Amino acid sequence: MGLVVQKYGGSSVADAEGIKRVAKRIVEAKKQGHQVVVVVSAMGDTTDELIDLAREVTPVASGREFDMLLTAGERISMALLAMAIKSLGHEAQSFTGSQAGVITDSVHNKARIIDVTPGRIRTALEAGNIAIVAGFQGVSQDSKDITTLGRGGSDTTAVALAAALEAEVCEIYTDVDGVFTADPRVVPKARKIDWISAEDMLELASSGSKVLLHRCVEYARRYHIPIHVRSSFSSLPGTWVSNEPRGEQPMEQALISGVAHDTSEAKVTIVGVPDKPGEAAAIFRAIADAEINIDMVVQNVSAAATGLTDISFTLPTTDGPKAIEALEKQQAGIGFEALRYDDQIAKISLVGAGMKTNPGVTATFFEALSDAGVNIELISTSEIRISVVTRQDDVQAAVRAVHSAFGLDSESEEAVVYGGTGR
Amino acid sequence: MGLVVQKYGGSSVADAEGIKRVAKRIVEAKKQGHQVVVVVSAMGDTTDELIDLAREVTPVASGREFDMLLTAGERISMALLAMAIKSLGHEAQSFTGSQAGVITDSVHNKARIIDVTPGRIRTALEAGNIAIVAGFQGVSQDSKDITTLGRGGSDTTAVALAAALEAEVCEIYTDVDGVFTADPRVVPKARKIDWISAEDMLELASSGSKVLLHRCVEYARRYHIPIHVRSSFSSLPGTWVSNEPRGEQPMEQALISGVAHDTSEAKVTIVGVPDKPGEAAAIFRAIADAEINIDMVVQNVSAAATGLTDISFTLPTTDGPKAIEALEKQQAGIGFEALRYDDQIAKISLVGAGMKTNPGVTATFFEALSDAGVNIELISTSEIRISVVTRQDDVQAAVRAVHSAFGLDSESEEAVVYGGTGR
């Protein structure tokens, strides 16, 4: 029996009942003989409530003090969780990110982990205690100020601690049963995946699957930490994510891991761009200077008659207005004809390492969409992923058609969704 | 212009509006050229809400984890306050007790300050910033665990920081205009005291006045820190508490500083105690072993016929049942006849260094009570205080009569009370 890192999201510890349920679960793992380190998020809506408070006080809530504020959330949940474990007769100690040795850079609100020095955690474990660690937070190497890790930070804390402590597994407890072949709210016949490669999981995460964030999977892949995503509301096994298939898991890799969709992006089309060197560079420099991350980029061949081409790209809808403003400023310099902006799009992605060696996948994918009457607006592919942009109204039909076409539908409608996700 | 420490209680920062109001006040002090260090309590009812949460999770909320939980409260208020100051165009940095160098012993939930090493505060001040410090919390010298200072802890933090930083003054902002000659809710004609000696303030605090706690005044007296108690809701000067009268304050010391009352105590009478050496000692050893602090102790001369005496003492009502239990266990050993317990009492105290040299004070005090028809049950005096125990029903009449008899009544009913007190 080795060391296990368990991470519980905000929805798992939303109230006193949730905290007591999670405490029992932790004690079970301890009783099985594991050394247990628990990473916990803030309770339920605590973080949002703190953000609301900050906005009441100041129009610009950011930086050092915003981090100081938000980290109060995990302080509450971790102390309560330690108390709940104690009341079950087991010793538990809670640690802030700083006390747990989560060392970060100084970029407040979205710090990156530089190092993890979990000396106090090791001491607690050696004393036979359960260690509870605040997710999402750390301390900056230079200024010793409190930092937060940004979106998905608690998952990253868990994986980073698992790596530093050489844990057997990092269990991510959430409010769904694991990673599914598609979003069960859209595809009732979606199947829970028993094992998925870290590589495929990365593609799913960047294609709109919200169960695990890209950053956390990337960290786990780099440090060879197996992740077990599972529900805190049931004792069923969830989904294993690892570089290598695990002994007890099916050895064969599926052709297709799953279908992801994303309706949070918008599409910008720059019409009538002179087809000559440097034009695309000028466009994307303008976007980069506005600190906007773009996703898909598609350029068609130019029409021979005009020497003009169209360039389209997708980006988070929230960055849309900023992108349009940045491009309009450059219109004269770059010399394009017009800008089109469309936030009624959806991206549908098919992910699977198996497609590398199977030339029929693309054809089957497009046929499925066509049969479902879904029009394709943009196409972009990688080695193990095909993504298309469609109308947002078509997203359900598209995802279901593709899911079905690749034989991913389960016999029954087994998916259980509890709603809400942790930080 | 020197260094000023300002402390704001929970009622002053109960919501976003309160925080913004306090921020303006802090910025005013900064604009006047002061270096400003602010100690802040948790917002409004935050601490009580956290305690309620803990009780939902475990029947025994105490120790290390309880401190970890409670300290989340100040973390929220101090970060919000720093943000509010920034939005007014001034630089502010918040610091936890640990970051501010508040070093304590390891007694969780009621730690005592051992040392204050405010290096980071000094650095912040030298950079021209306003420093915001979490009240009520510290870090233990031995285990580096987070501790809390117990009741009145934030005032103690403020005075301790003022001492370590050699501040000009420690301003305690609260929801009343200062220290009054009596509780204005009981005596509408009570007057605000402009200056009171630390010695008299200590007696008032231990006699039921709740504006400042004994511990904080004791600390200020020892380190010669002048305290200025004032309202955060008005800009009027409040009450100065210091060893020596201040230049701008009246030099003469009043005969009587004020009348305090306390209805939180109960009276235990041990009837028929054999009047011989060792009996009283046995009784109070039994009480001490039960970890109960007692207040007044009165023993009458014994009746010659029986050789028996009665011993009475007062103690916090909350400790009453524990004391009775402890004494009942010892009844046979000590050999007293009976125990009487009475929690319907009030203690009324007259405080003033002037009474040392004025023999008429005691007589005037008792006459005033007699004229008001108030019966005296116990009497206890110190050099600068007379306390009596009366029926609780008589407390208002007694306090008003005494206040009036010593010429403390103001011309008008000036007292303003906003209700609620901070931690």
| pLDDT tens track for A274-333 | 877 778 788 888 888 888 888 888 877 666 677 788 888 999 999 999 999 999 998 888
| Closest chain A CA to residue B73 | A72
pLDDT at B410: 86
Burial class (CB in 10 A: 0-12, 13-18, 19+), A255: middle
> In this model, does residue B189 exceed pLDDT 90?
yes
User: Is residue A131 in a domain?
Assistant: yes
For residue range A320-370, list pLDDT tens digits in order: 999 999 999 988 888 899 999 999 999 999 998 878 777 788 888 989 999
**B374 a known binding residue?**
no
> In this model, does residue B412 exceed pLDDT 80?
no
For the ranges A222-226, B61-65, B336-340, B399-403, the lowest mean pLDDT is seen at B61-65
**B273 a known binding residue?**
no
Q: Which of B40, B65, B67, B143 to mutate to test the interface with A (most CBs of A within 10 A)?
A: B65
| Closest chain A CA to residue B78 | A69
User: Is residue B418 in a domain?
Assistant: no
- Residues in chain A with CB shorter than 8 Å from the CB of B58 are 83-84, 86-87
- Cα A66 versus chain centre, distance: 23
> In this model, does residue A182 exceed pLDDT 80?
yes
| Closest chain B CA to residue A93 | B65
- The Cβ of residue A292 has, within 10 Å, a number of other Cβ atoms equal to 19
Q: Which positions in chain A have a beta carbon within 8 angstroms of at least one beta carbon in chain B?
A: 15-16, 19-20, 50, 53-54, 56-61, 64-66, 68-69, 71-73, 75-76, 78-80, 82-84, 86-87, 92-94, 99, 144
pLDDT at A137: 96
Of A131, A104, A105, A134, which Cα lies nearest the Cα of A120? Answer: A131
pLDDT at A303: 67
Of B94, B344, B352, which Cα lies nearest the Cα of B204? Answer: B352
**HEC-encoded secondary structure of B124-192:** HHHCCCEEEEECCEEEECCCCCEEECCCCHHHHHHHHHHHHCCCCEEEEEECECCCECCCCCCCCCCCE
Secondary structure tally for chain A: helices H, strands E: 12, 20
Q: Which residues are CB-contacts of A303 (< 8 A; sequence separation ≥ 6)?
A: A309
Of B101, B52, B102, B100, which Cα lies nearest the Cα of B73? Answer: B52
User: Is residue A206 in a domain?
Assistant: yes
Q: What is the mean pLDDT of chain B?
A: 89
| Same domain as A44, residue A93 | yes
- B133 and B40 Cβ atoms separated by less than 8 Å: yes
Q: Which residues are CB-contacts of A385 (< 8 A; sequence separation ≥ 6)?
A: A203, A207, A349, A350, A351, A355
| Same domain as B242, residue B282 | no
What average pLDDT does this structure show over B395-413?
A: 89
- The DSSP result for B29-47, as a single string, is HHHTT-EEEEEE---TTHH
Burial B196-207 (b: 16+ CB within 10 A, else e): bbbbbbbbbbbb
- Residues in chain A with CB shorter than 8 Å from the CB of B93 are 64-65
Verify whether the Cβ–Cβ distance B72 to A64 is below 8 Å. Answer: no
Q: What is the ipTM of this complex?
A: 0.75
- Cα–Cα distance between A259 and A187 in angstroms, integer? 10
- Residues in chain B with CB shorter than 8 Å from the CB of A92 are 65
| Same domain as B160, residue B209 | yes
Verify whether the Cβ–Cβ distance B72 to A68 is below 8 Å. Answer: no
pLDDT at B220: 93
For residue range A18-40, list pLDDT tens digits in order: 999 999 999 999 999 999 999 99
**A418 a known binding residue?**
no
Report the CATH number at residue A367. 3.30.2130.10
**Closest residue to B79, CB basis, from A60, A68, A80:** A68
- Residues in chain A with CB shorter than 8 Å from the CB of B19 are 57
| Same domain as B26, residue B10 | yes
Cα distance from B211 to chain A (closest Cα, Å)? Answer: 28
- Cα–Cα distance between A92 and A131 in angstroms, integer? 6
User: Is residue B66 in a domain?
Assistant: yes
- A368 and A404 Cβ atoms separated by less than 8 Å: yes
- Longest Cα–Cα distance of chain A, Å, equals 80
- Cα–Cα distance between B415 and B180 in angstroms, integer? 8
| Same domain as B290, residue B232 | no
User: How many structural domains comprise chain B?
Assistant: 2
**Helical ranges in A42-196 per DSSP H:** 46-57, 63-70, 72-86, 119-126, 153-164
Q: When comparing pLDDT for B285 and A23, which is higher? A: A23
Q: When comparing pLDDT for A211 and B131, which is higher? A: B131
Q: Which residues are CB-contacts of A278 (< 8 A; sequence separation ≥ 6)?
A: none
| Same domain as B105, residue B167 | yes
Report in angstroms the alpha-carbon separations of B280 from A379, B283, B296, B358. Answer: 93, 5, 14, 33
What average pLDDT does this structure show over A118-135?
A: 97
Verify whether the Cβ–Cβ distance B82 to A72 is below 8 Å. Answer: no
The percentage of residues in chain A with a pLDDT greater than 70, rounded to a whole number, is 94
- Residues in chain B with CB shorter than 8 Å from the CB of A57 are 16, 19-20, 80, 83-84, 87
**Closest residue to B57, CB basis, from A19, A71, A72:** A19
pLDDT at B85: 97
Verify whether the Cβ–Cβ distance B57 to A94 is below 8 Å. Answer: no
| Same domain as A38, residue A114 | yes
Report the CATH number at residue B85. 3.40.1160.10
Question: Residue A266 belongs to what H/E stretch?
Answer: strand A265-274
Burial class (CB in 10 A: 0-12, 13-18, 19+), B323: buried
- The Cβ of residue B402 has, within 10 Å, a number of other Cβ atoms equal to 29
pLDDT at A179: 95
pLDDT at A246: 65
- The Cβ of residue A177 has, within 10 Å, a number of other Cβ atoms equal to 23
> In this model, does residue B340 exceed pLDDT 90?
yes
What average pLDDT does this structure show over B127-148?
A: 95
Cα distance from A32 to chain B (closest Cα, Å)? Answer: 24
Verify whether the Cβ–Cβ distance A58 to B84 is below 8 Å. Answer: yes
- B268 and B312 Cβ atoms separated by less than 8 Å: yes
Last residue of a domain, one of A245, A271, A299: A245
**A341 a known binding residue?**
no
Q: Which of B43, B60, B80 to mutate to test the interface with A (most CBs of A within 10 A)?
A: B80
Last residue of a domain, one of A245, A280, A298: A245
Strands (E), B48-112: 92-95, 102-104
- Cα–Cα distance between B92 and B82 in angstroms, integer? 5
- B36 and B23 Cβ atoms separated by less than 8 Å: no
Beta-sheet strand order (sheet of A146-148): A113-116, A102-104, A137-140, A146-148
**A7 a known binding residue?**
yes
Cα distance from B212 to chain A (closest Cα, Å)? Answer: 28
- Cα–Cα distance between A313 and A408 in angstroms, integer? 30
**A31 a known binding residue?**
no
- Cα–Cα distance between A157 and A387 in angstroms, integer? 30
User: Is residue A252 in a domain?
Assistant: no
Percent helix, percent strand, percent coil in chain B, to nearest 5: 35, 25, 40
Verify whether the Cβ–Cβ distance B83 to A64 is below 8 Å. Answer: no
- Cα–Cα distance between A389 and B408 in angstroms, integer? 83
**B341 a known binding residue?**
no
For residue range A371-417, list pLDDT tens digits in order: 999 988 888 888 788 899 999 999 999 999 999 999 999 876 544 44
The percentage of residues in chain B with a pLDDT greater than 90, rounded to a whole number, is 67
Of A407, A414, A274, which Cα lies nearest the Cα of A335? Answer: A274
Cα distance from B210 to chain A (closest Cα, Å)? Answer: 29
- Residues in chain A with CB shorter than 8 Å from the CB of B140 are none
pLDDT at A421: 35
Q: When comparing pLDDT for A89 and B356, which is higher? A: A89
What average pLDDT does this structure show over A91-95?
A: 97
- Cα–Cα distance between A177 and A155 in angstroms, integer? 16
User: Is residue B421 in a domain?
Assistant: no
| Same domain as B224, residue B356 | no
User: Is residue A289 in a domain?
Assistant: yes
Classify strands B146-148 and B137-140 as parallel, antiparallel or unpaired: antiparallel
Quote the domain boundaries for residue B242. Answer: 3-250
| Same domain as A229, residue A299 | no
pLDDT at B378: 87
For the ranges B15-29, B131-145, B182-196, B303-317, the lowest mean pLDDT is seen at B303-317
**A411 a known binding residue?**
no
Verify whether the Cβ–Cβ distance A57 to B16 is below 8 Å. Answer: yes
Residue type, B86: K
Q: Measured on CA atoms in the order A160, A164, A170, A172, is the torsion positive or negative?
A: negative
Q: Which residues pair with A104 in a beta bridge?
A: A113, A140
pLDDT at A243: 83
What average pLDDT does this structure show over B69-96?
A: 96
Can you say whether residue B178 is alpha, beta or left, with left for phi > 0 and alpha for psi between -120 and 50 degrees?
Answer: left
Verify whether the Cβ–Cβ distance A79 to B87 is below 8 Å. Answer: no
> In this model, does residue B151 exceed pLDDT 90?
no
| Same domain as A176, residue A267 | no
Last residue of a domain, one of A194, A216, A245: A245
| Same domain as B223, residue B189 | yes
> Which of the four pLDDT bands, split at 50, 70 and 90, describes residue A419?
very low
**Closest residue to A59, CB basis, from B61, B79, B87:** B87
Cα distance from B409 to chain A (closest Cα, Å)? Answer: 42
Cα distance from B83 to chain A (closest Cα, Å)? Answer: 6
Highest mean pLDDT pick, A277-281, B218-222, B248-252 = B218-222
User: Is residue B415 in a domain?
Assistant: no
Cα distance from B53 to chain A (closest Cα, Å)? Answer: 7
**A171 a known binding residue?**
no
Q: What is the mean pLDDT of chain A?
A: 89
Pairs across A and B, CB distance < 8 A: 104
pLDDT at B416: 42
> Which of the four pLDDT bands, split at 50, 70 and 90, describes residue B397?
very high
pLDDT at B104: 95
How many Cα atoms sit within 13 Å of B270 on the Cβ side? 30
| Same domain as B276, residue B202 | no
**B239 a known binding residue?**
no
Q: Is B102 helix (H, G, I), strand (E, B) or coil?
A: strand
| Closest chain B CA to residue A91 | B65
